[in-house]
Each structure stands twice: as C-alpha cells, then as structure tokens.
Structure 1
Amino acid sequence: MSLLRNVCIGLLVALMFTGCAVDKRPDSYKPAINISPSIAAHASLLSKDQALQHALERRNLVISRTGEVLPLNQNVCQSALYYQISDRPLPSYIGQHQDLLSGFVLKVIYSDEQWKVVNPERELMPLNDFYEDFSATFSAQDQLIFQPSANTTNAQLKQLMQVVSQVFEQHANSFIVSASQAASVKTAGFQAITTKANSQQRFIRSSSHGVTQIQVNDSFGDSETLAIIFESDPLTACMKTNTNLVNDPVNDELKPPLKIDQQLLVATLPKDADFNQLAEQEALFSEGVYLNIWGDKKPYGDNNKLIADRCIKPESHLLAECSSRIGDGNTKTVNGRAILRRVNNEK
C-alpha cells in the first residue's frame, strides 16, 4: 500500500514539474492597445526641431516640417478653421491637417457652361477634374464650403448644387450665397451661409482686424464667431480672433545674453508676438523690443521684464568699463588666508 502511495506521489510531482516547464507564451506579442503620439499631426517630428517643438508646445504652438509656426490645434483658436483654396501652393501640412482644420473653402465660378474652381496650379479647373486631382488632399471628415460668384443666378446655383451632391457626396457641404438664395440651399439639403448678417442663419463677415469669419447671432442679437477662413497664415488669424491663444511667457524676467537661441526666445516672447518671425525677433531682442502680429515693434511689457544689459550695446562712456570686465566670468577664485592691515591716513 505504501509502495502504491509513493508511486502516486511521484507521478503527481512529475506532472507538477512538467506543467511548470511548459512554455505557454505566444510566439509573438501584440500590444494590448494602440499607442499613438500625442503631438498634433501637422507638427514636425524631425529630430532637429525637437527642442524648439517642446518650447512651442508650452505656448500652445507647434512648428511644421517646413518651419511654419502653427496653432497646436483648432481648439486653442476657439473657432473652427477653414483653409481657402486659391492659386497659392498648398501648405506642407495639408494632408496631415486633421488636428488643425475643419475643412476647406472653394471659390467657384460659372464658365463655359460649367462650374470651375481656381486650383493651386493657377488654372480654372472643372469641379469633377479638381476632385480627381485633389481627392487625396481631403479626408472624409473635411467639410467643404463652396462660394459661387456674386452674380450667380438661381438656375446656375441649382446646377452647382447638383454637381456638388454627385462629386463631393461623402463630405458635409455648405454654400455661401445671398439671403434670397438661402432657402433654396436649405431645400436641397445643404447648410446656407449668407453674405450679409442675418438673424436666421450663419453669415460671413470680415472683422475689424481683417479676418474673415463665419458668425451667427444669438438670442440676444450678439454675434458669435463659429469659424475662421484664412488663405496663408492660420496662426495670425487665430491670434487676432482669440487674444488668449498663446500661453503666457515661461520666463517672467530674463537678462538677455549676447546670443539667444530660439528655444529661449519662444519662452520669452509676449503673447501677441509674431512667432513666424523668429529670426527678426532674435535681432530685436538685444534692443528690448519685439515684433507683434500687427507688424509693430513694441517694448517687452510687465509680463516680460527684461533686465537691461548695458554692455550689449554700450554707450561710449561705458565702452571702456565693459571691455575691462569681459573676462570677469573667467576669473579664478583662490581660497587661502589673508591678513588685512589697517592703515591710518596721514594728514
């Protein structure tokens, strides 16, 4: 009986060790979740831009692969952003614009009995051909706003809406039209944006800052900005609309060195500075002034108290003193005993 028990125990122990020795791990592992970078899609991932990118992100900004400083995303603008396609070359971030843009505005004209758009190659192109050439530029989430010329007849507008519904059917489409044509646009199932202020629907207007906006009147008759339309500089358009887009400077006080790098400059510039003119801002820094988005040179304000370094541009009477103190930072300190002797002044 004891022999049988010993045999059973031995078999049980053998099975236990065999089970522990079995490698049940899969041949290859797959991540439990997909990890994606938090940086905006339109931001540069180049290694040479990493330090500057980090400094810009702290100010709600990013730099693109071609060196253009842009809003971190359209949320910091507090308005939707629409790029107006024209005869300008498309910016490099178009195609990776999902974090920056809500869509595009296309100005179209009726020519040779068909609707055409001015494309970035500076040619008038029929809408069908345009979409074939630039369909890769758009994503399914992009909203398209069509702006026909002011003299468009009702019959021509109807034809335009038919073409758009066929060619751009996967997009949410809107039309900028006169107030008298808004009803027909709505009847066709599209969003109407009128060319003049209207209490019934959205309208387009140019602000006092020269920024084209899509607005709507609230129940109190006050206008609210829903979107910004730009052609070349989204950052300036956003900053003119939302003065709090750029975060406060990281450095409250800074003594300017003889040479300042762009990371330190980005951390110091005031909120209304033109961040797309960093080279010029570097040159102006030693003078204690900066270039704002309106093109004006301004002194650094209370939030950026620059401690003046008179030796950066010394006056003539300071030149000798500044020159004699250049090597102060290299002076060696020697520890040791010293005897101070008091000397009586003799009269």
Structure 2
Amino acid sequence: MPSSVMSTSNSSGGPRPPAAVSAVGLRKSYGDKTVLDGIDLHIPAGSVFALLGPNGAGKTTAVKILSTLIGADGGRAQVAGHDIATSPQAVRAAIGVTGQFSAVDGLITGEENMLLMADLHHLSRREGRRVTAELLERFGLTDAAKKPASTYSGGMRRRLDIAMTLVGGPRIIFLDEPTTGLDPRSRHNMWQIVRELVSGGTTVFLTTQYLEEADELADRIAVLHDGRIAAEGSAGELKRLVPGGHVRLRFTDPAAYRSAAGALREAARDDEALALSIPGDGTQRELRSLLDRLDSAGIEADELTVHTPDLDDVFFALTGGTDQTSEEAVR
C-alpha cells in the first residue's frame, strides 16, 4: 500500500459530533521500543469504534492509556469529557473495561462475582442485588447464577465478564479482544450484546484481530501499524482504499453481450460466461454513471454485481501481513 494513504476521518467535511473519546498525539514507549507513535482519535458518543492491528501494534497499550491503567509518554486525551492525566478518577467512574483475559473469579459463583463488583462500585446491598439480577437475566446467566464460575463455558465466562463491567452503568466500554478463543456461536452472541449496548447509548471501543468482527460491528475502524494510524474510516471507505474493486455485468443474450462490450471498451471480457468486469470503487455516483451509459446504448444486463475488496485485503495492504513482536514481549 502506498504511503500516501491517509485517514478518511470526517471525510464529509462537516463538523465533528461530540467525542466520547478523543486523543491527540498519544505516545508510549517501552525502553527503546516505540509502541504508540503519536496517534489521534475521535470517537463519537453512542458508536462502535474498532482498532485493528497485528500482534504488538499497540492496541492493548492504547486501551490501557485511555482507561488510565498506565500513563502516556506524550500527547493528551479525554474520555467522557475528562482529561485522562488530570482527572483519572472521573474517567474511571464513566468507563468499563473488559480485557483480553477474563476478570471472573472461578472459585465463586456468577452471582457472587456480580455482587462483589457491586460492592466495589459502592452500591447498596439492595441496589446491588437488583442490578445483579437484571444483568444476569439480560446476559442469559440466571440459571447458572448459583454455580461456580469455573464450571462456565468460555462464552458464558465472557458474558459474565461483560455483565460485571456493566454493574456501574458505564457510558463508555473498552472491549479488548472480547471474543478471542470463543466458538463461532459464542462470538455471534457477543456481537448481539455489543449491538444492544450501543442501541442503549453506550459507546464501545473495540480492539480485535477478527476482521469480520470489525466489519459487522464498527461504525468506524482504524488500522494501527508500527505505532501509527495507517488509515481510518468506515468499513466501506477502507475497502475503497485497496484496488481491485469492479462491477460485473452478466448477459444471457450473446448479442447484448457483444453490444455492451463494444460500448464499454475498458471492461475485461469473459466470453465464455458472457460477463464484463468494469474497474471501479462501487460508489453510488460511479454506479449511476455506468447505468446511464448502458441506458444510452439501449443495453440491459441480466445481472449486475458490485465487488469490493474486503477488510482482509485492507489489513494486509496496510500492515504488510506481518505480525510484530507481542506487546507483552516488548515489556
């Protein structure tokens, strides 16, 4: 991918909506290894933001800084309107964090895990039990509430982990690799939970290596590589950064196919399939122009499909497809 690829953030040119999370020039190093090299973020309230990157790209470090678990070496950031450096307690009161590894205590029951979290948030006994019961029901854990968490499946432990995160009613949730190790059904269940959280007004900051996950959930996606944001935008915007998109026209009438091939000289021909491929990025304007050309020539295709690169193509183009040394090893 050429180095000229820039962020597509705020491509409409209009004013940005208020940010739940914002950062300017965020930097962090471990020894002589620069993990974050001046990243900028703007995440609107009530949205899902996904941070993608290879192992060691700095995703977990970004979450730890924004959730006040570690300090930055440079730059500034605000979370829920509070400066992470000068008002860390206010930030912590507004957020919930679910890390890569479950915070669930397997030696006690799911209900006891929840009540412990309620105590940590200084809820009254009555309020703690009410919130615990509501969240256990919401996450489908009521039947297992009295069982030791060590008996839970991976998906159940992850659901309990997120339910514990929600006890304090956070406005912003950081989900660091939330579906790592889950089977496909559990992963899809987790996606539905995230959608429900956002529909209720919660902002979700998601880090993931599952590109399908980002494509399914995120309003905006940033690709982190070598400590910097290599590109940012919606899934559709990022896919258009990578060449290879095209519109495919298929015909059943050989005469119509020949006429279309004559009218669309730039198209790649597949004479056996009676199909034409016209390079393009699949935008509405470009598609309308193509259809106008076909109408002017009196040509009607039997099938029209738009093919765009997927996030796998974007990821490998931007990162070179290489894994870096893990962040844990850097430390």
TM over 0.5: no
Structure with a larger share of its residues in helix: 2
Structure 1 or 2, whichever has the larger Rg, is 1
TM-score (norm 2): 0.26
TM-score (norm 1): 0.25
